[in-house]
Structure 1
């Protein structure tokens, strides 16, 4: 599956400069994006630092239990067997769980992890296994409780998980009942057109959600259905059993909090000195940890020697916080700055797959890695695609549109096309008519006002109503022209909703179910097999 490379707009100058190997960004990272030449050096460091990570066998045992429940494919068990070997390395990446897997880029990120692991193994000639972590510890429920699918007309429809979910608990702890799942799945069945793949896809969705009591488990089972056969290992960052294994790392983060905070502040100063905007908040009093209290995930601060939150709901001395960690490790979680340290304290990460926003905030962490006795891994931008269906390619050809036209100039091009369809120039004709009426009518109004000053207000009202009627007729004329050309306009709207729905890249809006229903699942493995380079390029692909 070969794609055509097309530039896609990005909101992160730091990530773009890293991808382009520009000097200003280069100093903020350990390795260069040209990872082929960096793999041996990274692998050597991981071999020398095996004892800095948590016990490999304990980790594998936890992963066996978790994946047996949610991701039981034989290929996954073989990956776990390989991970138990101290010679094995990992390519990893992750994402918060989302309804029905969320937007397409989540699928591309998982595919990136598998593809990069295969490529690294080929180059290093040693086991490299793919691991995808689910950020079930995140608490922004409103960000993950919905997704988008096109309806039969191609218009974008928002599917939202119905129900009231109070508080700010971790997503993995929010319970969802069967009725709530089924309401969403009924919407999916209504929106998806009938295809040869639909019956099996709908059965899969029903079976998965009947077996899941929270969003993270449902997400894991769907990812497993798509990637289990590729050997992708899953882990939930909010799992209490994993927290137990991570407890010594959290203890280090707490004991060395002052050192780490200074390291992050130093990283922030380096980002600023390089001329970039701050990609994430680095607070002078930040402890860079969350604590779960009463169903809410609270960001901890360090003030006057006490760990507390902004509202003062909790307050711990260091000794008391460490005691709480020993008794309840499941109540602790990382923020975006300490999560990279945790990841590399438990996994032998040769490379990590990241989105551009993640690449940016990782630029704050190099000093912290060093202070924590670790080394920042190789960072690889995730694969990025726009799926172009035949019907939309046909219409783009019909109207002479390029991908960049659709990205940046579609409204302008559409309006020009519509104007070209009519010899009757609406704007020009009505402008001339308005001016002609004003030229005739204004002298009359002046004479009427001279008869009696009190008629001035009536003249103004009369003139305004005439203009309103002219504008009304102009609007109705435009509507009539649009109706006359509604088939063509539906083509333009179809292109917009397919490639840049809601004025965003397709991969950030569309759910994968639409394409799984239309094309089946084989295209995902084809996509993985065809990827060898990770340079942050965006590809337009045909299925």
Structure 2
């Protein structure tokens, strides 16, 4: 496995500074993933039972077993669930929305990070450390998860999507797709993929994940089980009704202490801003940080006087009514990005949570909230990052002397430099010389016309400008004609760019993994899971 490590600075400054252990970011988190003693400290804190609230472990194990059997997870994953019943067991947890056919590559990398860390710390601690992937099925932004991107053979970034089945603003896990919708999505993907020795098997497995009018969440879970079940990755949908029943106790507290929750988030926001960072998520004093299902929709609540209400004020609850809902019908409540980390901590013995850069930034807002509920934020670990570069692209990069950094930071300049180096006629110099010589001889003549008539002088100025424009027009046409000699090269350079920064974003945030599985099988993915890789916040370029 050929791999290079590269420091690709995070666009989110707080996450970058946290990873680099800057003095400004350090106080916003209780631990740092790079300090071995912090891992031991976290283990000790969990073992000593400091957390004020914990879910019933036995009930949780049964819910996990039932769910993972339903989505077709493996015996290895069920063994990990059984291990979680051991009171000594700890967990590495991370999650993501349920993207179409697995979503973007970063989802796979987050799962790999979870598996790698669980394996590493289980060995170091000589006790069970269970890898758990939390599927955010409760999220309602359907347009965020209903699509996937692939790089087509025509060197276009193609987008495939499924349409919203009802139009109602409700959780993805509550929106089953009709078989015809799944059939169309599979057909579009099939058409976009090149024929290969792996294609038939890949498409059959994907088709299997969509059976029975599956929701995006269920299909996603089945696909993750196919890819990572053999490594013991335990899956759970945050919107699973049986899980909600276990969460009732925590929902009660989130309602009872709602004002204090908001105040603690505001305090952390002040800390974040005081350290010189912008707030990643909107935190306001009247936010309930909870959703309710009502009228077929998932509605965000805020406090208004003595009531909890939605944005349009169509539904209104007293604190007592909302509390009763938490006790009797917890499946009607749902977390937002601020309360979800607290619920995760309530459910699992979290040694560490694996997060993306944006998530790291908004988790900084929750430090005081953890403490408000008698908890402590777990170790925050940045997920592994990769860019996949195929052999042909690597050869082209060598051929044209493009480094990875060149593509990221100076692609257009490097491309132009290469074209200029091929310009043996030195067209630009010749045209510039002609323009300069013409202006030198013609401009004085135009100036002298003023003595005859100012109108003639003005006409001369216009004439000079038009002649220069015509020379530049010919220069541009000549330049375009010259570039056509290098069409093949320009296409190869464009493929390099579209491989590494499609849509001006990191590859892992755009492309779906199925294209690479279709071309290369799963060996590259297995190598990433099975080869120990240091979780250090750096980016890795993986040459296929």
TM-score (norm 1): 0.93
**Take 1:475 and 1:203, find their aligned partners in 2: how far apart are those partners?**
52
- With over 3 angstroms needed to count, the CA separation of the structure-2 counterparts of 1:398 and 1:454, relative to structure 1, is closer
Q: String of CA shifts for 1:59-100, please: whole Å, max 9, x gaps.
A: 111111111111331111111111122221111100011111
Residue 306 of structure 1 aligns with which residue? 307
Q: Partner residue of 2:390?
A: 389
User: Which has the higher mean CA deviation after the structures are superposed, 158-167 or 271-280?
Assistant: 158-167
Deviation at 1:376, TM superposition (A): 0.9
The offset of 1:400, in angstroms, is: 1.6
Asked whether 1:15 is paired with 2:19, we answer no
1:33 shift after superposition:
1.8
- RMSD between superposed Cα atoms in Å: 2.5
- Is 1:527 the equivalent of 2:528? yes
Partner of residue 515, structure 2: 514
Match of 1:55 in 2: 56
Tell me which residue corresponds to 2:363: 362
Runs of 4+ with >6 A deviation: 444-459, 462-465
Corresponding residue for residue 259 of structure 1: 260
Is the Cα–Cα contact under 8 Å of residues 165 and 176 in structure 2 kept in the other structure? no
- The equivalent of 1:495 in structure 2 is 496
Instruction: After superposing the two structures, state which structure 1 stretch, 79-88 or 174-183, moved more.
Output: 174-183
Q: CA deviation at 1:177?
A: 1.5
Q: Is the 8 A contact 2:383 2:535 kept in 1?
A: yes
Note the C-alpha offset of 1:433: 4.2
Is this contact kept in 2: 1:2–1:530, CA < 8 A? no
Instruction: Tell me how far 1:164 sits from its aligned partner.
Output: 6.1
1:247 to 1:401, Cα distance in 2 relative to 1, 3 A: same
Match of 1:293 in 2: 294
Q: CA deviation at 1:2?
A: 5.5
Give the deviation of 1:485 after TM superposition. 0.3
Q: How does 1:79-228 map to 2 (within 5 A)?
A: 79-162=80-163, 166-228=167-229
Give structure 1 stretches of 5+ with no counterpart: none
- What is the distance in 1 between the residues matched to 2:23 and 2:457? 73
Using the alignment, how far apart are the partners of 1:83 and 1:449 within structure 2? 97
Query: Within 2, Cα distance between the matches of 1:18 and 1:328?
Result: 39
2: CA distance, partners of 1:384 / 1:466: 54
Of stretches 300-309 and 348-357 in structure 1, the one that deviates more from structure 2 is: 300-309
Alpha-carbon distance in 1 for matches of 2:474, 2:160: 38
After TM superposition, give the deviation of residue 307 of structure 1 in Å: 0.9
Deviation at 1:227, TM superposition (A): 0.4
TM-score (norm 2): 0.93
Matched residues in 1 for 2:15 and 2:478: separation? 48
Equivalent-residue separation in structure 2 for 1:385 and 1:436 (angstroms): 54
Q: What is aligned with 2:72?
A: 71
Q: Distance in 2 between matches of 1:431 and 1:358?
A: 52
Is contact 2:138-2:172 (8 Å) kept? yes
Distance change in 2, residues 1:209/1:445 (3 Å): farther
Residue 43 of structure 1: aligned partner: 43
Residue of structure 2 equivalent to 1:540: 541
Q: 1:279 to 1:208 in 2, by over 3 A?
A: same
Distance 1:141 1:455, change over 3 A: farther
* 2:322 is equivalent to residue 321 of structure 1: yes
SS in 2 for 1:373: coil
Q: Distance in 1 between matches of 2:349 and 2:188?
A: 42
> Larger deviation: 499-508 or 162-171?
162-171
Q: CA deviation at 1:469?
A: 4.9
Structure 2, gaps ≥5 residues long: none
- Would you say how many aligned residue pairs link Structure 1 and Structure 2? 542
| Rounded Cα–Cα distance in structure 2 between residues aligned with 1:181 and 1:86 | 42
CA distance in 1, matches of 2:482, 2:472: 15
Bigger shift: residues 171-180 or 263-272 = 171-180
| Cα distance change of structure 1 residues 302 and 457 upon mapping to structure 2, 3 Å threshold | farther
Superposed CA deviations along residues 16-62 of structure 1, whole A, max 9, x for unmatched, are 11111222211111112225322332222223337721101111111
Structure 1 pair 177–469 and aligned structure 2 pair: CA distance change class (3 A) = farther
Equivalent position of 2:27 in the other structure: 27
Corresponding residue of 2:335: 334
Q: Is the 8 A contact 2:122 2:128 kept in 1?
A: yes
Q: C-alpha displacement at 1:500, in angstroms?
A: 1.4
